[in-house]
Amino acid sequence: MLILLPPSETKRSGGAGRPLDLERLALPGLTPQREQVLAALEELATDAAASARILRLGATQLHEIEHNARVRTAPAMPAVDRYTGVLYDALDAASLDSVARSWLSRHVLIHSAPLGPVGALDRIPAYRLGASASLPGIAPLRRVWARAVTDALAAAAPPFVLDLRSEAYSALGPVPESVPSLYVRVVAEADGGAVRALNHFNKHAKGALVRRLAVARPRVRSREGLVRWADAAGLRVRDGAPGELELFA
């Protein structure tokens, strides 16, 4: 099973050791797109006013322009440790043992806007760029990434993909039709049995789900296998729209 996670707008600063090395990232076929987006991001960082406008930075966020200026040279850290926020706090990868973290490295890709999907333990720098941003000098990110990411996932040929990304990031790289997959929506049951989608708890539930998978490390290669594991683990899931699975928080 391959799990696709969204990134987070909030990130830890700093890092240690070597900086970003594109040749060491997962899905190395995406290197041309990574080079293109990074070059545009670095160029944007030379204009503070344009950076603030395009990246929607407030007065307390202007330091993030420097992150973009140093995106190739700043110390890096594993992607799963770089991101913070509700999903990554629930995943709490730093507290996992080495076996569970190794499982994450083999089974989880985190879909960033400047680098495309990267491995959970791939080392990345701090940066500021969201899926909806339009960088000067290049095509919209959806046009840069979508076909290339879909082709890279098809070439990787995972037996089954569990897509936990937001819709904005799924649009930057749809799972190929040749790969069995499920898109997960987190829902809650209200009084009277009505089901509604969640926002804050959506992220928490996805992070908690990935943590449980990393700890249990089940051998899941299909929708049926995932549902069997979820039932045994006490998680409530059910079929949603075609190609989707509803996870009850």
| Side chain identity, residue 103 | W
Predicted TM-score (pTM) of the model is 0.94
Q: Could you tell me where the beta strands, DSSP code E, fall in the chain?
A: 2-5, 77-78, 108-112, 116-119, 123-124, 161-163, 181-189, 195-197, 237-239, 244-248
Hey, what are 80's tokens? 């799963």
- Per DSSP, the residues of 191-234 read GGG-EEE-SHHHHHHHHHHHHHHHHH-----SHHHHHHHHHHTT
pLDDT of residue 193: 64
Mean pLDDT of the region 56-75: 95
Hey, what are 103's tokens? 């499982």
Residue-wise pLDDT for 116-175, tens only, equals 999 999 999 999 999 999 999 999 999 999 999 999 999 999 999 999 999 999 999 999
Residue-wise pLDDT for 183-238, tens only, equals 999 998 876 666 776 666 899 999 999 999 999 999 999 999 999 999 999 999 99
- CA 29 to each of CA 73, 141, 148, 246: distance values in angstroms, whole numbers, following the listed order: 22, 17, 8, 32
- CA 146 to each of CA 108, 109, 133, 134, 201: distance values in angstroms, whole numbers, following the listed order: 19, 15, 15, 15, 28
pLDDT of residue 200: 67
